[in-house]
A and B are shown apart, each in its own frame.
Chain A
């Protein structure tokens, strides 16, 4: 009896793990466009204070996020433009009502505006989820002049496909771009992997994602520079990919903008480093390695 229960447990766990694995479609022998050895995406998760507001945090926490909209986003765009790099801004729909000028300016300059949920959450209720996604698409289209094709979210893949999305950037299962299906093996989307080791908030933002004050170990830009350079160098040797997950309220702080600029200057000294938007990279994947 006990053995049967345990065996059943194994079957269930195995089904979960293998089913999950089967949804992921790595791309063997992944190749970049000619002359490219490695791709680097700079992505800005432009939540500003929305995630703080959602968690019902107090006024000064909101003000800390507000920095991203008033100062950080502008400063980061200016720095990237000085280095001729186009970034992808993952934007909650409601940010379009809070910081429309910053987004319009970014879109005009050729940066990509992509989805990051309506108010930084995916509602469990399917009808409300659809409502949130449609609101976000409409809001982003109003500021950017075109519909978003990318997302960083856990939105339902079928919904995303129906609305014309081509990629998601939300997995850490491997280094280079791949395809990911939904639970039914359908609604395939390009996945552009990220990793929390390349997320600025882990190192610089106190009380990130509900973490308690005594658990904070704030780092400095020099130490993070060393880690991120190591991550870049690892992928450069492999001919791989790196996706920087940055928050304007975190990385828009002056010393961190300078740190990112130092990284870019160093990366540009090496041949074959490509700085596309996520959309550019996803379209390359679709054309060179069709689903």
Chain B
């Protein structure tokens, strides 16, 4: 039995609050993630998704509203862009880049890669990387596998090969991990100590599970629950000096009164002194240099055993 395979992805004990330092004595890292994928199911982006009225709203007015809010509060965000969206809407993507935001990869078409062969997945990662590089002008440093509203699980999906392939493809970080609420290392290969820095994500701070959820027409709009999750989590993370991240979808948080709710939340957050508003890549660069895996990924000697009569 090698390591605690099929149970854990990282070390046994996470970093303590008191061990975390941010650049320039900042107190808390604040990350805004904007997902530009209109995919609603594990199949990834389809023509039906793209021709849905609120998808059109999302990539036009919704996106403009979000960008305007970010500009107004002087915030820089990480935009998660599936390669096909960059092909379809290159002007929008360049405008986002020109506003100083990061463009991270959101897969080829934000499909569930767990059903692909490793070879197919490698090809798609390569194709995604080169497409974004051609359109954006630089290679993406971050990769996200965010959940879709109609996924089986509200956490995002990867295959057993994904993390190793991303490391091989030169990615600097994975954007959505749930094993920690600060940056941490996702072990792709225990024997070779191959690991990828992972930034935290949680569905309780992702607008898609509150706004018009599960789908328009049958969904509920639970703006108050979303706002309170954002505010309480931010305040708790700020007090701990850790990391707060919110995940936005322009078709949701960019819409009229939703955008006003977001505005109120951002206005509250930016008043806290000592925030480090970093893009995913900036945070990953800082963390990898300050807390490298060589010294800070503490994999214990395994006492994990195989037992007859129980799961391996």
Residues in chain A within 8 A of chain B (CB atoms): 49-50, 53-54, 57-64, 66-67, 69-71, 74, 94, 97-102, 118-119, 123, 128, 131-132, 135, 204, 206-207, 212-214, 216-223, 253-255, 257-259
- The segment out of B128-136, B253-261, B300-308 that lies at the interface is B300-308
Q: Which of A71, A74, A102, A254 has the most CB of B within 10 A?
A: A254
19 A-B pairs in the complex with CB atoms less than 8 angstroms apart:
A63-B177, A64-B155, A64-B178, A70-B13, A97-B303, A100-B303, A119-B310, A119-B311, A131-B309, A206-B153, A206-B209, A207-B154, A213-B214, A216-B209, A218-B203, A218-B210, A218-B229, A221-B228, A254-B236
Known: A101-B12, A255-B229. A206 touches B178 (CB 8 A): no
Which residues on the A side are within 8 Å of B209 (C-beta)?
A: 206, 216, 218
Query: A69 to B7, alpha carbons, bound, how many Å?
Result: 11
Query: A63 to B179, alpha carbons, bound, how many Å?
Result: 5
Which residues on the A side are within 8 Å of B16 (C-beta)?
A: 74
Asked if B43 is at the interface of the complex by the 8 Å CB criterion, the answer is no
| Contact of B9 (CB < 8 Å), options: A62, A216, A253 | A62
Asked if B157 is at the interface of the complex by the 8 Å CB criterion, the answer is yes
Shortest beta-carbon distance from B252 to chain A in Å: 14
Mask for B223-254, Cβ within 8 A of A = 1, else 0?
01110110011011101101000000000000
For the complex of A and B, 6 pairs with smallest distance between CB atoms: A254-B236, A214-B214, A220-B228, A255-B232, A206-B154, A70-B14
Known: A70-B12, A254-B233, A255-B233. A53 touches B228 (CB 8 A): no
- Residue count of chain B within 8 Å CB distance of chain A: 62
Asked if B274 is at the interface of the complex by the 8 Å CB criterion, the answer is no
Asked if B10 is at the interface of the complex by the 8 Å CB criterion, the answer is yes
Tell me whether B180 and A71 are in contact (CB under 8 A). Answer: yes
Which residues on the B side are within 8 Å of A221 (C-beta)?
A: 228-229, 232
- Residues from 147 to 178 in B contacting A, C-beta threshold 8 Å: 149-158, 160, 176-178
Asked if B268 is at the interface of the complex by the 8 Å CB criterion, the answer is no
Shortest beta-carbon distance from B25 to chain A in Å: 21
Known: A69-B12, A213-B151, A217-B220. A60 touches B157 (CB 8 A): yes
Asked if B222 is at the interface of the complex by the 8 Å CB criterion, the answer is yes
Closest to A57 in B: B153
Mask for B273-312, Cβ within 8 A of A = 1, else 0?
0000000000000000000000000001001110101110
Closest to B310 in A: A119
Which residues on the B side are within 8 Å of A53 (C-beta)?
A: 6-7, 311
Residues in chain B within 8 A of chain A (CB atoms): 4, 6-14, 16, 114, 145, 149-158, 160, 176-181, 184, 202-204, 209-210, 213-215, 220, 222, 224-226, 228-229, 232-233, 235-237, 239-240, 242, 300, 303-305, 307, 309-311
Which residues on the B side are within 8 Å of A214 (C-beta)?
A: 150, 214-215
Query: A57 to B181, alpha carbons, bound, how many Å?
Result: 21
A-B contacts besides A204-B204, A255-B235, 16 pairs, CB < 8 Å: A59-B9, A59-B160, A63-B178, A64-B155, A64-B178, A67-B178, A70-B179, A71-B181, A98-B4, A214-B215, A216-B213, A222-B228, A253-B181, A253-B204, A255-B232, A258-B235
Which residues on the B side are within 8 Å of A253 (C-beta)?
A: 181, 202, 204, 233
Query: A99 to B209, alpha carbons, bound, how many Å?
Result: 31
Tell me whether B158 and A67 are in contact (CB under 8 A). Answer: no
Tell me whether B7 and A258 are in contact (CB under 8 A). Answer: no
Q: Which of B184, B235, B236 has the most CB of A within 10 A?
A: B236
Query: A212 to B152, alpha carbons, bound, how many Å?
Result: 7
Query: A138 to B240, alpha carbons, bound, how many Å?
Result: 37
Q: Which of A99, A128, A222, A255 has the most CB of B within 10 A?
A: A255
Tell me whether B153 and A213 are in contact (CB under 8 A). Answer: yes
Which residues on the A side are within 8 Å of B309 (C-beta)?
A: 123, 128, 131-132
Q: Which of B4, B178, B209, B215 has the most CB of A within 10 A?
A: B178
Which residues on the A side are within 8 Å of B151 (C-beta)?
A: 213
Shortest beta-carbon distance from B35 to chain A in Å: 16
Query: A220 to B203, alpha carbons, bound, how many Å?
Result: 12
| Contact of B228 (CB < 8 Å), options: A50, A59, A223, A258 | A223
